[in-house]
Chains A and B, each alone.
Chain A
Amino acid sequence: MSMLSTGRPTRPDATVSTDAHATLTGGEGLLQHEPLIFELGGWDKTGVDLPPVPDALGADDLGDLVRAEPIGLPGLSEPETVRHYVRLSQQNHAIDLALYPLGSCTMKHNPRLNEKMARLPGFADLHPLQPVSTVQGALQLIDELAHWLKTLTGLPAVAMTPKAGAHGELCGILAIQAAHRARGDAARTTVLVPTSAHGTNPATAAFVGYQVQEIAQTVDGRVDLADLEAKLGSHVAAIMVTNPNTCGLFERDIREIARLTHAAGAFFYCDGANFNAIVGRVRPGDLGVDAMHINLHKTFSTPHGGGGPGAGPVVLSEALAPYAPTPYVTHGPGGFELVEEDALAFGRMCAFNGQMGMFVRAYAYMLSHGADGLRQVAEDAVLNANYVKARLSAVMTPAFPDGPCMHEALFDDRWLEGTGVTTLDFAKAMIDEGFHPMTMYFPLVVHGAMLIEPTETESKAELDRFCDMVTALAGAAKAGDVARFTGAPYHAPRRRLDETQAARRPRLKWTPSSPEAVAAE
């Protein structure tokens, strides 16, 4: 063994096993065990320094409206705060770490320029109700972004205020409801939704009071035209179809779907969650779509932030445009104006002007790519998905093997038959290999579905690394190495979590469990 002159060894001792040395603290190397703030913080500690309040300006004027009882909020100093959240952050997977192939979620790279632009005080430090004369640049940005969205979709209007994809669906369906009402058509009580749809589609339609009826799917994963035609009628307000659909396939007959829908007097709502596959190459307006939400957090790369905030502007056809919600931006003689009242508008989606912070990020992304770059986005997204499909079809069973997929590749679980490994087990084993699993068990129309969406921001090398990993894991599953899967993950911050217990005895907040904790409170 080589030594320094002080006697310190400079080479590791390879004979010491790395297994079976559970740590004494629960932490593992760089990964710290981190308690809750309620177990860490001081009840009288604070990480901010605020000036004192003069006695004369106390809350004596509020009488018994003053909150007398303790609130029970722990505080941390600044260094403790930083450590707490940095330690917690290290227990998350992220796109910045590795491929995050959640189908239907479009987990693409989030450019940091967008973050920088959204934080310019000229956007971030604006109040939504400042005089319009003082926010002309903000309104111009919304107007320019709207122009891009309209041009890319080939539709004449866009409602900017919906705050997420599902909120956009609601906006679109409300516009459709308003249009029917405006022409005195109150008999339309049904919305048709394919069985493969996102859960938000039927939930949205039902929320607004519509009956939801399902449209069957063909064996090749598309809307069954005959079934659609049979179910259309004067009772149908709209159809909600995702295109490309949740099987990752383009609805070949989409123009016929639109024609039949319009012939029945209904509107065509398109779920635009998968717009990334066609942006810059296909305009939904050319397909006969009347309304479509655009998830700015998917196609236009605003960060997903652990589950929001998103943004879901909705493009609208000529027939629906008059009913768009307030507020919206227009050009007036003295500059941009914000229209807050409009008798035809179906109402208001939220208090203010929509997700401005997301608008800035999405617009920075669009400007960066340009029309040519966005077209390349769609092409590379589709190319990457087909590459993954081609490579993995050697070891997995594609749900729809014939023809190309769009931006995501869908596999079923036939290839796992007899192995004792389920889709869930396989996903958990992927975690051990350092990847986020694909979307599991969705869409519902495919058994044990595995929906892989790599996005265009993955290099060929990363895709190969992923495909090599899945291929190796598939080999292990087929070779009977079952425990690798059924017990997985072994190497994540937590082993598999008990969701049944969580639901049976819901513990949705911290409560002091020990007498010491109670006393401390």
Chain B
Amino acid sequence: MRYLPLTPDDRSQMLAVIGAPDIDALFVDVPAEARLPGPVDLPHVQGELEVERHLSRLARRNRTAGEGPFFCGAGAYRHHVPATVDHLIQRSEFLTSYTPYQPEIAQGTLQVLFEFQTQVARLTGMEVANASLYDGSTATAEAVMMAARITRRTRAVLSPGLHPHYAATVRTMAEAAGLTVEALPMAVDAEAEVLGALDADTACVVVQTPNLFGTATDVTKIGEAARAAGALMIVVTTEAVSFGLLKSPGAMGADIVAAEGQSIGNGLNFGGPYVGLFAVREKHLRQAPGRLCGETVDAEGRRGFVLTLSTREQHIRRDKATSNICTNSGLCALAFSIHMSLLGETGLRQLAALNHARARTLKAAMAALPGVEVLTPRFFNEIAVRVPGNAADLVETLAGNGILAGVPLSRLAPEAGMDDILLLAATETTLDTDIQILSRAISKVLAP
């Protein structure tokens, strides 16, 4: 067994030092009836070659995003990740270290987290950011719980454009904790409707921009009205590249920002691991969940970094903690931060502009198709279109032609009665020819 260094001789010598006759003597506390006499019924040890062969066979049974025209978005986006990013995150010292419990020998990880927190605070336009959460959806749920702690209120209102999986994740956590969640019926361009549902129990309104349908919204007035009613505004973004083009949530008065950071530095990975971005106003900091890295000095006065404000956290506060979260999404945050450092503001703005340009081309192509209606009024890199008939069937048919033609809304919200809506994203990876192929294929399917 190639990962196990002990030899049979080592084992006997070690048992002798321990004073145990055999290995079974070390498992003596296990109830006799629960000791398995031999290996369970699964295949036995395999070499690298065999493992690689098996997994490669499974991998080949999937159609990858890069194989052909690809337009899926709805919370996960295909971007080009520079080769440097993946190379650097595989450095042993980043990949095989743990949470920086001993800061003197974890300054690499800690400095990265400090830089990451600064990048995220600036991108979101907020005062402080944490060291990441699992993903955008769990970050949104944590934001709702945090708003309830701050306001001591018990109700959350979710906007008509919030990603249904995010809404379901919020509902699962918040309702279990005794909060009431009101998710408004889905709509393309109606984030402000959350204000109609505000009441004296409302802890927060959750709005998304760009939202599930791709609609970008200036939520400034929503935030003002929410706060006037004693509630907080949580702004959700699932496409982090949009921070390079659109007005930041902080500038629009967000109290808490929960965002998915996958788009920067991280691949699609069939849904995970991703990286949740979480940023707040400084006055709410002590109610924030998750790890925080802070600057300090060492015994010789040199700048250094440590995990801080841990009295919020489970390992200190146990049942009084702000969250049960233990780790963050460290390596994905590292990938995010490296990619962000490569881009810089200049590169990020170019990348965002390029995404928007591709989406404009996509929108024009869709608008030109007879029977297809573009629904999204203002967008970053994603649009919703209405197609004649069932969007899921269309997507399935086009998949058969080698085109991954976006996400049918019914996949996310089967009960919404929006079976004719298709969500399409374009990024810098989308070619003009991809858009032409998509247009021609849709025309062909829709042709009477």
Q: How far is the CA of A76 from the CA of B88 in the complex (A)?
A: 14
Q: How far is the CA of A498 from the CA of B305 in the complex (A)?
A: 9
A75-B343, A110-B95 given; 5 more Cβ-contact pairs under 8 Å: A44-B345, A82-B87, A148-B42, A306-B330, A404-B29
**B residues 99-133 in Cβ contact with A at 8 Å:** 99-109, 111-112, 114-115, 117-119, 121-123, 128-129, 131-132
**B11 adjacent to A383 (CB under 8 Å):** yes
**B270 adjacent to A135 (CB under 8 Å):** yes
**A123 adjacent to B270 (CB under 8 Å):** yes
Tell me the smallest distance from the CB of B250 to a CB of chain A, in Å: 10
**A282 adjacent to B34 (CB under 8 Å):** yes
Is the CB of B273 closer than 8 A to any CB of chain A? yes
Is the CB of A479 closer than 8 A to any CB of chain B? no
Q: How far is the CA of A487 from the CA of B140 in the complex (A)?
A: 43
Residues of B contacting A68 in the complex (Cβ-Cβ under 8 angstroms): 247
User: Given A59-B353, A75-B343, A383-B11, A460 and B6 touching (CB < 8 A)?
Assistant: yes
**Mask of A187-222 contacts with B, CB within 8 angstroms, 1/0:** 000000000001110111111110010000000000
**A307 adjacent to B135 (CB under 8 Å):** no
Q: How far is the CA of A374 from the CA of B175 in the complex (A)?
A: 39
**A93 adjacent to B105 (CB under 8 Å):** yes
**A349 adjacent to B54 (CB under 8 Å):** no
Q: How far is the CA of A279 from the CA of B221 in the complex (A)?
A: 56
Question: What are 9 A-B contacts with C-beta separation under 8 Å?
Answer: A75-B345, A91-B106, A121-B66, A137-B61, A199-B313, A199-B316, A308-B99, A309-B272, A499-B296
**B341 adjacent to A75 (CB under 8 Å):** yes
Residues of A contacting B356 in the complex (Cβ-Cβ under 8 angstroms): 53, 57-59, 62
**Mask of A85-111 contacts with B, CB within 8 angstroms, 1/0:** 110111111111100101001010111
Partner-contacting stretch, out of B192-200, B223-231, B407-415, B438-446: B407-415
> Most B CB atoms within 10 A — which of A61, A97, A386, A436?
A386
**B108 adjacent to A65 (CB under 8 Å):** no
**B42 adjacent to A370 (CB under 8 Å):** yes
**B62 adjacent to A50 (CB under 8 Å):** no
Is the CB of B390 closer than 8 A to any CB of chain A? no
**Mask of B18-33 contacts with A, CB within 8 angstroms, 1/0:** 1110010111111101
**Mask of B72-93 contacts with A, CB within 8 angstroms, 1/0:** 1011101000101011111111
Partner-contacting stretch, out of A3-11, A124-132, A260-268, A415-423: A124-132
**Mask of B344-366 contacts with A, CB within 8 angstroms, 1/0:** 11111111011011001100000
When C-beta atoms are compared, the residue in chain A nearest to B56 turns out to be A120
**B3 adjacent to A368 (CB under 8 Å):** yes
Cross-chain contact of B1 among A65, A351, A376 (Cβ < 8 A): A376
**Mask of A300-321 contacts with B, CB within 8 angstroms, 1/0:** 0001111111110000000000
Is the CB of B211 closer than 8 A to any CB of chain A? no
User: Given A58-B353, A497-B298, A353 and B60 touching (CB < 8 A)?
Assistant: no
Q: How far is the CA of A122 from the CA of B94 in the complex (A)?
A: 25
**B residues 20-57 in Cβ contact with A at 8 Å:** 20, 23, 25-31, 33-36, 38-48, 50-52, 54-57
**B111 adjacent to A34 (CB under 8 Å):** yes
User: Given A129-B74, A163-B272, A356-B272, A78 and B84 touching (CB < 8 A)?
Assistant: yes
**B314 adjacent to A166 (CB under 8 Å):** yes
**A306 adjacent to B334 (CB under 8 Å):** yes
Is the CB of A133 closer than 8 A to any CB of chain B? yes
Residues of B contacting A369 in the complex (Cβ-Cβ under 8 angstroms): 1, 3, 45
**B97 adjacent to A306 (CB under 8 Å):** yes
Is the CB of A484 closer than 8 A to any CB of chain B? no
Cross-chain contact of A459 among B5, B18, B44 (Cβ < 8 A): B5
Q: How far is the CA of A375 from the CA of B24 in the complex (A)?
A: 12
Is the CB of A425 closer than 8 A to any CB of chain B? no
Residues of A contacting B412 in the complex (Cβ-Cβ under 8 angstroms): 129
**B28 adjacent to A46 (CB under 8 Å):** no
**B97 adjacent to A95 (CB under 8 Å):** yes
Cross-chain contact of B88 among A36, A86, A174, A374 (Cβ < 8 A): A86
**B330 adjacent to A309 (CB under 8 Å):** yes
Tell me the smallest distance from the CB of B382 to a CB of chain A, in Å: 13
**B104 adjacent to A489 (CB under 8 Å):** yes
Residues of B contacting A492 in the complex (Cβ-Cβ under 8 angstroms): 104-105
Tell me the smallest distance from the CB of A107 to a CB of chain B, in Å: 6
Residues of A contacting B99 in the complex (Cβ-Cβ under 8 angstroms): 304, 306-308
Cross-chain contact of B296 among A63, A403, A498 (Cβ < 8 A): A498
> Most B CB atoms within 10 A — which of A67, A305, A364?
A305
**A113 adjacent to B48 (CB under 8 Å):** yes
Residues of A contacting B43 in the complex (Cβ-Cβ under 8 angstroms): 367, 370-371
Residues of B contacting A367 in the complex (Cβ-Cβ under 8 angstroms): 43, 46, 50-51, 54-55
Is the CB of A152 closer than 8 A to any CB of chain B? yes
Is the CB of B293 closer than 8 A to any CB of chain A? yes
Tell me the smallest distance from the CB of A433 to a CB of chain B, in Å: 12
Residues of B contacting A185 in the complex (Cβ-Cβ under 8 angstroms): none
Cross-chain contact of A506 among B102, B119, B308 (Cβ < 8 A): B308
**B106 adjacent to A92 (CB under 8 Å):** yes
Residues of A contacting B41 in the complex (Cβ-Cβ under 8 angstroms): 151, 371
When C-beta atoms are compared, the residue in chain B nearest to A120 turns out to be B59
**B270 adjacent to A353 (CB under 8 Å):** yes
**A57 adjacent to B128 (CB under 8 Å):** no
**A307 adjacent to B109 (CB under 8 Å):** yes
Residues of B contacting A403 in the complex (Cβ-Cβ under 8 angstroms): 28-29
Is the CB of A340 closer than 8 A to any CB of chain B? yes
**B5 adjacent to A457 (CB under 8 Å):** yes
Cross-chain contact of A380 among B4, B42, B76, B308 (Cβ < 8 A): B4
Q: How far is the CA of A212 from the CA of B2 in the complex (A)?
A: 44
**Mask of B295-321 contacts with A, CB within 8 angstroms, 1/0:** 111111010111011110111111111
**A375 adjacent to B39 (CB under 8 Å):** yes
When C-beta atoms are compared, the residue in chain B nearest to A357 turns out to be B269
Cross-chain contact of A502 among B34, B271, B308, B328 (Cβ < 8 A): B308
Cross-chain contact of A134 among B178, B245, B404, B428 (Cβ < 8 A): B404
When C-beta atoms are compared, the residue in chain B nearest to A171 turns out to be B172
**A457 adjacent to B4 (CB under 8 Å):** yes
Is the CB of B182 closer than 8 A to any CB of chain A? no
User: Given A134-B399, A307-B291, A371 and B44 touching (CB < 8 A)?
Assistant: yes
**Mask of A490-521 contacts with B, CB within 8 angstroms, 1/0:** 00111111110111001111100000000000
**A383 adjacent to B304 (CB under 8 Å):** no
Tell me the smallest distance from the CB of A89 to a CB of chain B, in Å: 4
Q: How far is the CA of A89 from the CA of B407 in the complex (A)?
A: 39
Tell me the smallest distance from the CB of B239 to a CB of chain A, in Å: 13
**A57 adjacent to B272 (CB under 8 Å):** no
User: Given A305-B331, A494-B107, A94 and B95 touching (CB < 8 A)?
Assistant: yes
**B134 adjacent to A164 (CB under 8 Å):** yes
> Most A CB atoms within 10 A — which of B43, B243, B342, B343?
B342
When C-beta atoms are compared, the residue in chain A nearest to B47 turns out to be A368
Is the CB of B69 closer than 8 A to any CB of chain A? no
Cross-chain contact of B245 among A62, A121, A358 (Cβ < 8 A): A62
User: Given A46-B347, A121-B66, A73 and B122 touching (CB < 8 A)?
Assistant: yes
